[in-house]
Copies of this chain bind each other. A is one copy, B any other.
Amino acid sequence: MTSAPELVAIVPAGGAGTRLWPLSRRSRPKFLLDLLGTGRTLLQDTADRLAPLTGPDGLLVVTGTAHAAAVADQLPQLAGDGAANLLTEPSPRDSMAAIGLAAAVVEHRHGPTVVGSFAADHVVPEPGGFHDAVRTAVEAARAGYVTTIGIAATGPSTAFGYVRRGAPLEGVPGAYAVASFVEKPDEDTARGYLATGEYSWNAGMFVARTDVLLGHLTRHQPTLEAGLREIAAAWDTPAREEVLARVWPGLTKIAIDHAIAEPVAAEGGVAVVPGAFSWDDVGDWDALGGLLPADEAGAHTLAAATSAGDNGAARPTTAGPLLAIDSPDAVIASDGGAVAVLGLPGVVVVRTGDAVLVVHRDHAQRVKAVVDALAAGGRPDLL
């Protein structure tokens, strides 16, 4: 057993990313893409953001077999002693199995440790406030709470669940008991939430001691906990594949929100640290447009790289001119050729080697309908 970092960050890297089609695809989901044109993918940016909190050895990524090689390419630091910090799931069993496996592996390696789960494909433009919030959450976690980071809502979004805070936590300034988690509301309900000043968005960031997390799991999902412990014990041994093949497919498929956050909140065991940083889950092309700077024509353009180069960084490309004429607030992304938009404010145009998407930003949430139509039309190559 080796000494643990102060915080081990667990990053589940999955998702189909259909709302950012055609740039994101089954074979290259959102987290593998350099969506901001910075030269770093969202996954790399997530690792960069967590590094000051975890140190060089405190990042652990859980991904599927389809993306393990790409993740290893983009984050060579995970390799350590033979890919020690890249856990590959044989098949998706939802977030509790993914995060629980990582927590169990960490505890088996290091003993009780504070871990935090963070999505691989979110954007935090100014990480300072994020770091402050996580450090506060780590304190609350040490005190025995499963602690979530609440995202300051910028509007009555219906795309997120909400977390309602209760009384301040004694001894941990900036942290509060969680009164309840609530599912994605309708817009009127969301407005009501915001009016109270007690609600934040739930971005699925949970910080907890592994012994606390797995302890809750023992009570609420005992067979899942037992299975994860068995796999974790075998993980760093030659028995890993045999145990995984036997145990993993039978694990209960459940989200961490339902397995832990909601029942433990009802017991008074969950805390929230309301964050004071801007955050975006880049949920669709409209959201991405809001994150890309406006060019002189008022358009938001991305000369996109869709594959990683030798060093894991996004490959530089020479996308043709991305030209907006009389089209303020247009969002234009291309991984190669030129794009010209004329007289269409707020339009989204995305060009890849094999596809073009055109939609208004107001309809960006509906892009999944295109992916569904392509699937129904027998074009799996385009998904």
| Interface residue? A358 (CB, 8 A) | yes
Mark A354-366 against chain B: 1 for CB-CB distance below 8 A, else 0: 1111111011001
Closest residue of chain B to A379 (Cβ to Cβ) is B321
A344 proximity list for chain B (CB < 8 A) = 344, 347, 358-360
Contacting A382 at CB < 8 Å: which of B22, B320, B351?
B320
Interface residues on A, range: 35 or more
Interface of chain A, main secondary structure: mixed
Let me know if A339 and B355 touch, CB within 8 A.
yes
Closest residue of chain B to A353 (Cβ to Cβ) is B337
Give the docked Cα–Cα distance between A165 and B104 (Å). 92
In chain A, positions 68-123 with a C-beta closer than 8 Å to chain B are none
Let me know if A356 and B370 touch, CB within 8 A.
no
| Interface residue? A239 (CB, 8 A) | no
Let me know if B356 and A351 touch, CB within 8 A.
yes
Give the docked Cα–Cα distance between A336 and B355 (Å). 9
Give the docked Cα–Cα distance between A341 and B321 (Å). 21
- Listed in ascending order, the chain A residues whose CB lies under 8 Å from chain B are 22, 320-321, 323, 325, 334, 336-344, 347, 349, 351-360, 362-363, 366-367, 369-370, 373-374, 377, 379, 382
6 A/B residue pairs, CB under 8 Å, sorted by A: A320-B379, A337-B354, A339-B355, A342-B357, A342-B360, A344-B344
